[in-house]
């Protein structure tokens, strides 16, 4: 198994970028040479004639990476699903280009953190999905999920789809909840999901004070990841203490 993880979500907006960046921040502190990747980004903005992704910049700053063309090889302006953006902008996604970028990252870093887009079954082409890319990369999966009502169904469906495709699920991180005002469903849902799926909970990450992806502000993200996530299970022998 290659050294790295592929971060997927049960839906869009669950906080994959935050969790991926948090892992990168911890890896840097532990002197792990960490690479980051967001294979496809949509909703990008123009800067000096180039399309850039706020999410990718957030990941790169967390890892001190500089190779934007490798970290984010495919970018679209419109905030759409990848296949919809590719059709709208008349630029089909070349998955072989993504794989070559990943291979170069893999050769140059000890550990590579890849953030998917949306969920497991988001299509890049008519017959190629995020799940297919994970199989190509041969990376274990971390599922990022909400705690709110509806998460049991969304998370169990994601787990079932991952298992049916032979993906290695490392565990689940529940993200972005207000720990001072947890509702009953938020308190009970994570344990039910883990019990039913037999997939371990790797962490419970509350809302991060001072965090802002667009402004490249991490708040207390690194310390929260150290306090709330099973980092040893994620980084293995690379992580000491």
Q: How many CB atoms lie within 10 A of CB 55?
A: 23
Q: Is residue 237 part of a domain?
A: no
pLDDT given for residue 68 in this prediction: 86
Q: Determine the average pLDDT of the residues in 190-199.
A: 97
pLDDT given for residue 2 in this prediction: 62
3 state SS of 50? strand
Q: What is the CATH number of the domain that holds 87?
A: 3.40.50.300
- pLDDT of residue 240 exceeding 80, the answer is no
Q: How many domains does the chain have?
A: 1
pLDDT digits 0-9 by tens, 67-124: 889 999 999 999 999 999 999 999 999 999 999 999 999 999 999 999 999 899 999 9
* Residues catalogued as catalytic: 38
pLDDT given for residue 238 in this prediction: 87
Smallest CA-to-CA distance from 177 within 159, 203, 196 is with 203
Q: Is residue 212 part of a domain?
A: yes
Q: Is residue 23 part of a domain?
A: yes
Q: Is residue 216 part of a domain?
A: yes
pLDDT given for residue 12 in this prediction: 87
Average pLDDT over the chain, rounded to an integer: 95
| 25 CB-side CA count, 13 A | 22
pLDDT digits 0-9 by tens, 154-191: 999 999 999 999 999 999 999 999 988 999 989 999 99
Q: Is residue 235 part of a domain?
A: no
Which structure tokens are listed for 236?
Answer: 């293995």
Residue 207 DSSP one-character state: P
Q: Is residue 238 part of a domain?
A: no
Smallest CA-to-CA distance from 12 within 68, 70, 82, 88 is with 82
Residue 106 lies in domain: 4-230
Q: Give the model's confidence band at 241: pLDDT under 50 very low, under 70 low, under 90 confident, else very high.
A: low
Q: Is residue 180 part of a domain?
A: yes
Q: Is residue 126 part of a domain?
A: yes
């Amino acid at each position: 198994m290659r050294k790295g993880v592929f971060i997927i979500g049960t839906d869009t907006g669950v906080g994959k970028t935050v969790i991926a960046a948090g892992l990168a921040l911890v890896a840097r502190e532990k002197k792990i040479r960490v690479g980051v990747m967001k294979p496809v980004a949509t909703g990008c903005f123009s800067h000096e004639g180039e399309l850039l992704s706020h999410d990718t910049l957030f990941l790169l700053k967390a890892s001190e990476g500089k190779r934007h063309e490798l970290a984010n090889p495919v970018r679209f302006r419109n905030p759409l699903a990848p296949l919809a953006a590719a059709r709208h902008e008349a630029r089909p996604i070349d998955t072989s280009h993504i794989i070559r970028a990943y291979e170069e990252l893999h050769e140059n870093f000890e550990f590579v953190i890849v953030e998917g887009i949306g969920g497991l079954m988001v299509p890049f082409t008519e017959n190629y999905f995020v799940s297919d890319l994970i199989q190509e990369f041969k990376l274990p999966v971390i599922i990022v999920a909400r705690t709110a009502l509806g998460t049991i169904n969304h998370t169990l469906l994601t787990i079932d789809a991952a298992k049916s495709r032979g993906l290695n699920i490392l565990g689940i991180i529940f993200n972005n909840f207000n720990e001072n005002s947890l509702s009953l469903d938020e308190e009970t849902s994570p344990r039910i999901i883990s019990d039913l799926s037999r997939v371990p909970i790797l962490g419970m990450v509350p809302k991060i004070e001072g965090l802002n992806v667009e402004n490249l502000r991490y708040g207390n993200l690194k310390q929260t990841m150290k306090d709330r996530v099973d980092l040893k299970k994620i980084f293995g022998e690379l992580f000491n203490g």
